[in-house]
Amino acid sequence: MSNREPAIANRLMCPFCGNNTDFFQIAEDAIITTHFRQNADGSFTQEENESQILGQIKLFCGSCEEELPSEFFDRFTEMVF
């Protein structure tokens, strides 16, 4: 009996280095609004974040940092829960 996990056919894999675990995205022309509440002791607590992305969003390999083709980003967005 093998302890290996079954292969998942729809996992993304970087075509440049083979990484299939670490990725990051960069959003161009983004407005990020962060709401804070000041506490009685003068410190601040973050309440919520709002973001509005006006430009492109690109997906990159977290290992070799190459930009991945747009079809990878499309698959990525389908699988973010």
- What is the average pLDDT score of the chain? 89
* Three-state secondary structure call for residue 71: helix
Point out which residues pair with 44 in neighbouring strands: 38
Nearest to 13 by CA among 58, 66, 57: 66
Nearest to 26 by CA among 75, 68, 71: 68
pLDDT at 25 over 60: yes
In the chain, what percentage of residues exceed pLDDT 70?
89
What is the pLDDT averaged over residues 20-38? 95
The predicted structure's pLDDT at residue 21: 93
What is the pLDDT averaged over residues 23-46? 95
> 62 near 26, Cβ under 8 Å?
no
pTM of this structure: 0.70
Q: How confident is the model at residue 75 (pLDDT cuts 50, 70, 90)?
A: confident
